[in-house]
Structure 1
Amino acid sequence: MAHTAKLFGLVFKSLANKEIDFDSDTLKVMLCTSAYTPNQDTHQYKSSVTNEVTGAGYTAGGAELDNVTVTYDPALNALVLDADDVTWPSSTLTARHAVVYDDTPATNKPLIGYITFEGDISSTSAPFQIVWNASGIARFTAA
């Protein structure tokens, strides 16, 4: 399946305002239904995200990203954000989007990026897994 991954445009504002610290903050990924429409230009915080999935094996707020790394790729002039793949074992749910955000701030929880799946993806008493691209979750390129 072909999926579309994008950064939320206001992630740069959140980074400039020191609301996100990739090295020390807790990053999470949450799943949303097809009823959520990501807005790359206006959604800045988790409070803008609607229609989070519910179902067996899924906890509201999503899953924590483990082993988060931030590296610089000098060949591409890019900062690369990566983490381990995420699995909700033995889950029963249907999702259309995966939204990555910073869960550390007490109030505003800045959005980082999102994936829109080619269609609804379901699991029934089975693992639901997100396998990140081999080149990382996100790239911030200096041109």
Structure 2
Amino acid sequence: MAATAKLYGPAMKSAFNGEINWTSHTIKVMLCTSAYTPDQDVHQYKSSVTNEVTGTGYTAGGLTLTTPTVNYTAGTNTLVLDGPDLEWSTSTITARYAVIYDGTPGTDATRPLIAYADLGGDVSTTAGKFTITWDAAGIITSTTA
């Protein structure tokens, strides 16, 4: 499944306050069920997220996004946050959302949310691979013009 993430509105506030560092902090991706309702305007920290999936092959808190990158293209005024695709191998889970957050701060009440991806419906695995393939243009793309 190809996924494009949407920024949580308060993520920009957290970034400018120095709470998020995409390339030097531990950026995590957790999975949530359809019972979670993302609120782009209000949800700022991981403590706002409910209904994280549980199941075989899934660890609470999700996976670390290894080698996240930031690129800016002057000709198109485009900022791209990207990273590798993710895989929970041999998992038995059902998820609707992938939530991206900064896992470096010490508590869920201080771990800033960055973005979420709606997987378009419940996606399930039974003793199989659960894969998130980020959009080829990047996980998050922003035009600054």
Same fold (TM over 0.5): yes
Structure 1 equivalent of residue 56 of structure 2: 56
Cα shift at 1:67? 1.3
Query: 1:111 matched to which residue of 2?
Result: 113
Distance 2:58 2:50 in 1: 16
Q: Deviations over 1:22-63 (max 9, x none)?
A: 121010100000000000000000000000000000000000
- Structure 2 unmatched ranges of 5 or more: none
Does residue 139 in structure 1 map to residue 126 in structure 2? no
Q: Distance in 2 between matches of 1:69 and 1:48?
A: 26
Instruction: Structure 1: give runs of 5+ residues left out of the alignment.
Output: none
Partner of 2:102: 102
1:28 aligns with 2:44: no
Partner of 2:93: 93
Letter in 2 for 1:11: A
User: Which deviates further from its counterpart, 91-100 or 68-77?
Assistant: 68-77
- 1:4, CA displacement in angstroms? 6.3
Q: 1:106: Cα distance to partner?
A: 1.5
Q: Would the aligned equivalents of 1:2 and 1:118 in 2 still touch at CA under 8 Å?
A: no
Identical positions, percent: 59
- C-alpha distance in 1, partners of 2:104/2:143? 25
AA aligned opposite 2:143: T
Q: Secondary structure at the match of 1:42?
A: coil
Aligned residues between the structures: 143
CA drift at 1:117: 1.6
Task: Report the RMSD for the aligned CA atoms in angstroms.
Answer: 1.4
Deviations, residues 68-102 of structure 1 (Å, cap 9, x unaligned): 11111223212211111000000000000000000
Q: Please report the TM-score for the alignment, with normalisation by the length of structure 2.
A: 0.94
